[in-house]
Amino acid sequence: MSQMRKDIISGEWVIFASNRRKKPYAFKHNSKIRENPDTVCPFCMGHEGCTTPERFRLEKDGNWEIRVFKNMYPAVDDLCFEVNMDNFYDSMEGIGFHEVLVDTPVHNEELHEFSWDHIERVIKVLKSRFTLFEEMDEIKYVQIFKNNGPMAGASISHSHWQVIGVPIVPCEQERALLSFENYRNKNGTCLMCDMAEHEIKFGERLVFENAGFAAFIPYAAKFSFEIWVVPKKHISSIAGMGEEEIKYLAEAIKTIISAVKDIKEDLCYNICFQDIPKGHKDEDFHWYMRILPRIGAPAGFEYGTGSYINPILPETAAQTVREIIKNKHNENKQH
Ligand SMILES: [Zn+2]
Ligand SMILES: [Zn+2]
């Protein structure tokens, strides 16, 4: 079902998951977010039988609030592999785990519309899935992510997260670890601790701050309005987050995603948790969350070079997001 192949030139791993071709698609094929009216949503309350068997549920008043189950079309799997026929290249069996976490029983409710308390519960369940995956021998890296809307790769509109545990350390994480290591060797401190401090002090790229987190548009943002949410305390993975951090992260997510959704009508976005790969020391990496609004798509230059063309300077984008947050805050005060 699944096989991993390493690109011999770039060193990037590619997952071939032939089973994903069968995946149903709930959106109409156009740029607007419009669902096919005849699609049955497998993530809605009452349709629990449409998913694979449940692995975890969080209940309130006899009904589920959060459900976790194996992805019906896993990119990697616990028992699948295809035989590699070509020894010229590096390959691996696509062993791993791929789960879906449905974070609300309500079909059209979105992450930024949840209460702070509920976002906290979602983060806690994600943390527990991360910890569980990380303990498995074959897993080297756990990626938590959210695809919101068709332009961000979601095939089902009902709000959900995905957790994938893979048997390799992806290139992006390898490169990040190296940058952290080089910075520490040179300065003796953590790159992200220093970056967060610098962004708070500089202020022009900062979009939000509370006692636990700083959120800013990165200096060299690849995507327009890309936002990084960084804990002020040095934490290398979601597993290191205590009650306090989770509370502050929930506030940051609600405030920032509400603003992001106001940048443009029907805006789709991805959230990626950047966690430490397994087998590294706590000081080797600093956890952060990337919010990637999808305005325009990578095109020929980006695919050709791996470099991105971004039409909006981070300082200008940050000013826009700060204004949206300020206006929303004032609106809420008036109501
Ligand atoms: Zn639904
Ligand atoms: Zn740090």
The CATH number of the domain holding residue 176 is: 3.30.428.10
Number of domains in the chain: 2
pLDDT band at residue 294 using 50, 70 and 90 as cut-offs: very high
Report CA(188)–ligand 2 centroid distance (Å).
Answer: 11
Q: Are residues 36 and 135 in the same domain?
A: yes
Instruction: Retrieve residue 84's tokens.
Output: 């590699």
Report CA(241)–ligand 2 centroid distance (Å).
Answer: 13
Give the Cα separation of 64 and 250 in Å (integer): 20
For residue 32, the 8-state DSSP code is: S
Please state, as a whole number, how many other Cβ atoms lie within 10 Å of the Cβ of residue 49.
7
Report CA(286)–ligand 2 centroid distance (Å).
Answer: 5
Q: Are residues 254 and 157 in the same domain?
A: no
Q: The tokens 């002090």 sit on which residue?
A: 201
pLDDT at residue 276 tops 90: yes
Report CA(5)–ligand 2 centroid distance (Å).
Answer: 33
pLDDT at residue 233 tops 80: yes
Report CA(236)–ligand 1 centroid distance (Å).
Answer: 34
Report CA(293)–ligand 1 centroid distance (Å).
Answer: 22
Report CA(168)–ligand 1 centroid distance (Å).
Answer: 33
Report CA(298)–ligand 2 centroid distance (Å).
Answer: 30
Q: Phi, psi (5° rounding) for residue 165? A: -105, 125
DSSP track, 193-249: HHHHHHHHHH-TTEEEE-SSEEEE--TT-SSTT-EEEEESS--SSGGG--HHHHHHH
Point out the domain boundary residue: 166, 188, 211: 166
Assessment of whether the complete model's pTM goes beyond 0.85: yes
Q: Are residues 214 and 309 in the same domain?
A: yes
Report CA(254)–ligand 2 centroid distance (Å).
Answer: 23
Q: Are residues 159 and 176 in the same domain?
A: no
Q: Are residues 196 and 323 in the same domain?
A: yes
Q: Are residues 141 and 181 in the same domain?
A: no
pLDDT band at residue 40 using 50, 70 and 90 as cut-offs: confident
Q: Are residues 9 and 158 in the same domain?
A: yes
Report CA(191)–ligand 2 centroid distance (Å).
Answer: 6
pLDDT at residue 131 tops 50: yes
pLDDT band at residue 31 using 50, 70 and 90 as cut-offs: very low
**CA nearest neighbour of 24 among 36, 33, 32:** 36
Q: Which domain holds residue 330?
A: 171-334
Report CA(235)–ligand 2 centroid distance (Å).
Answer: 6
Q: Are residues 110 and 190 in the same domain?
A: no
Point out the domain boundary residue: 166, 185, 216: 166
Q: Are residues 155 and 273 in the same domain?
A: no
**Mean pLDDT of all residues belonging to the chain:** 91
Give the Cα separation of 258 and 148 in Å (integer): 13
Report CA(158)–ligand 1 centroid distance (Å).
Answer: 5
Q: Are 277 and 173 in contact (CB under 8 A)?
A: yes
Q: Are residues 215 and 274 in the same domain?
A: yes
Digit-coded pLDDT (tens) for 146-190: 999 998 988 899 999 999 999 999 999 999 999 999 999 999 999
Point out the domain boundary residue: 124, 144, 166: 166
Q: Is 311 exposed, middle or buried (0-12, 13-18, 19+ CB in 10 A)?
A: exposed
Please give the torsion angle defined by the CA atoms of residues 203, 208, 213 and 218, in that order, rounded to the nearest 10 degrees.
-60
Q: Are residues 159 and 180 in the same domain?
A: no
- Largest distance between two CA atoms of the chain: 67
Q: Are residues 118 and 252 in the same domain?
A: no
